[in-house]
A and B are shown apart, each in its own frame.
Chain A
């Protein structure tokens, strides 16, 4: 079995029926950036050997803990916790606006105790990384993850925080603060990670959500790069070196409709970003860490024939691996219908493992290098990213383009490409506009059923937060929240006082309210 440490010219495997030797690398044909990184790519896990990631969270913390334990037993290495919408927006589960949303699109996680319980059944000695979906509450999310890892003595576990608030304003809709305040929070997290030498990414810059919102993968990648520049500019303005900041940022990109375009997007994005960093910040490509890249294998998932999503996801997994992602999670076949059932989540994990271990997808670094087809796709994708970055620059960069409405207008302009292609028959979707079958739901529904009693989840979460408030020392909580407010009113880093507030027992809602009060000052 290849452990990712074979030398570039070595044959790590003959594990195929013909015993044909498969080399780690087949020479040039890749980009200049990849050539400069080649040695490092072949000697460490990461590119071309993705960690198997699960993006999961459902119901109450104990329900999620049980789910994570099952997935870890099956080989999951990286855990990105999906918080429910009230948690992502800083509403406690008993807030009026949280009604009917608690534990539905993720796990209810409003206190440090909640996150500790979510992680309570993980064997952290076998975990590569842990993170929380906290795009608009980055300081709280990072505080929760850091406390749990610190308390467990798991200093080796890397961060995979999803903490990119700028895309929320146009793509996901969980914005809370102004864009400038949001950037400050996100960069406080990266600064905290640099200052404390935390491994992994305190910030994951996402194109995926911009893509899904309508921008398409190429333009979305450019938008994500523009946002990444906003964060880096802010950190550089605070006096941090780009070479120190880059290891604490990763990128979540996606292309969901074509195996080869998917591979081209990942391998091209890595090199375009490296060139951009060299040009903008003067850090030579060879001295940069290779971009840490996360992919999420999902695509045209059907709600009518859910089991048919399995081959779709399998091919999306392969495209991501051929493109060289560092982290990969896969959609579950029933994800178009509900929070995945446990069997579907387990199958998604197994899908990644089968592609990785049984079909040689991880054996070679940059396996598509030298392909004439890929070279042309790469050139097209790279040109598209660069052209869109120029347009955003003409609007003054990511932040200014957000404020003047360019980003929203551009997404609006591009939205609906897939729907149009399907409607016009330009693109085929089996079971929908091609080979449509009246038997679909009977043949392809799988075993997925709703497993979560949401009314009970909501009652449990409300009772849990009420009991939490009763059991704490209010004076200590108020004092800690004053610390958050005071930090927000200055330029001090929000993460340390947020950690103090979490440890005192403050809820996310209270910390967000204290942050808002400080910002208002």
Chain B
């Protein structure tokens, strides 16, 4: 993996939720911050996210879901990254879920979780940190 290129982020919405304000805002902020962003769109199966992240040589994956189920989808994603020998790609999750589900996903290995009201600055900083960690820095 090269380390002198910009941090590359794969973003996707999981589940059936189509509210993409948050993920679009983050995509814009990351792009403005010098990241390379690949946004896969809405209703993306976790298998497709893993495949895209590997194909794009992603440093970080960001997934968003506002309708609940974030714990389910991110836990599944972490499992598939491990099975696909891509466990080194950190996953950042944004959206809404119950506290026990958020704990579940963090226990499963999600790098950071951001709920409603999080500042864009904090989210971008987390992607930067995750990108560095993903590269073994």
Contact = CB atoms under 8 A, between A and B. Distances in A.
A173 B99 CA distance: 26
Interface string A67-85: 0000000000000000011
Nearest to B13: A173
A303 interface: yes
B3 interface: no
A472 interface: no
A454 interface: yes
Interface stretch (A23-31, A97-105, A236-244, A389-397): A97-105
Contact of B18 (A86, A168, A419, A450): A168
Contacts of B42: 173
Contact of B16 (A98, A303, A416): A98
Interface stretch (B80-88, B116-124, B129-137): B116-124
Contacts of B73: 100
Contacts of B68: 100-101, 104-105, 338, 454
Interface in B60-105: 66-69, 72-73, 96, 98-100
Nearest to B45: A97
A207 interface: no
Contacts of A515: none
Main DSSP-derived SS at the B contact region: loop
Contacts of A212: 19, 21
Contacts of B16: 85-86, 89, 91, 97-98, 101, 174
Contact of A213 (B21, B99, B117, B119): B21
B17 A450 contact: no
A113 interface: no
A179 B69 CA distance: 29
B17 A105 contact: yes
Interface in A321-363: 336-338
Contacts of B69: 99-101, 104, 454
A89 B19 CA distance: 14
B17 A416 contact: no
Interface string B23-34: 011001000000
A301 B116 CA distance: 9
A415 interface: yes
Interface in A302-332: 302-304
Contact of B21 (A84, A304, A415, A432): A415
A73 B74 CA distance: 40
A419 B119 CA distance: 8
Contacts of B117: 302-304, 336, 432
B24 A214 contact: yes
Nearest to A96: B45
A469 interface: no
Contact of A174 (B18, B72, B99): B18
A416 B21 CA distance: 9
Contact of A85 (B17, B24, B98, B99): B17
Interface in A378-424: 412, 415-416, 419, 423
B115 interface: yes
Contacts of A5: none
Contacts of A302: 117
A450 B98 contact: yes
A104 to B, nearest CB: 4
A97 B73 CA distance: 12
A90 to B, nearest CB: 11
B120 A423 contact: yes
A172 interface: yes
Contacts of B66: 105
Contacts of A85: 15-18, 67
Nearest to A429: B117
A172 B67 CA distance: 12
Given A303-B116, A338-B98, A415 B25 contact: yes
Interface string A99-134: 111001100000000000000000000000000000
B20 interface: yes
B74 to A, nearest CB: 11
Nearest to A168: B18
Interface in B25-57: 25, 28, 42-43
**In the complex, which of the residues B28, B66, B68, B116 has the most CB atoms of chain A within 10 Å of its own CB atom?**
B68
A105 B25 contact: no
A419 B117 CA distance: 9
Contacts of A415: 21, 24-25, 28
A290 to B, nearest CB: 32
Contacts of B20: 173, 213
Contacts of B19: 172-173, 212-213
Contacts of B15: 85, 100-101
A103 to B, nearest CB: 9
Interface of A: 84-86, 89, 91, 97-101, 104-105, 168, 172-175, 212-214, 301-304, 336-338, 412, 415-416, 419, 423, 432, 450, 454
20 contacts: A84-B67, A85-B16, A86-B16, A91-B16, A97-B16, A100-B73, A101-B15, A101-B17, A101-B67, A104-B68, A173-B17, A173-B42, A301-B116, A303-B116, A304-B117, A336-B116, A338-B96, A412-B24, A419-B120, A450-B98
- Closest 3 interchain pairs by CB? A173-B18, A100-B69, A104-B68
Given A99-B72, A100-B73, 10 more contacts: A98-B16, A101-B67, A105-B67, A172-B18, A172-B19, A302-B117, A303-B117, A415-B21, A415-B24, A419-B25
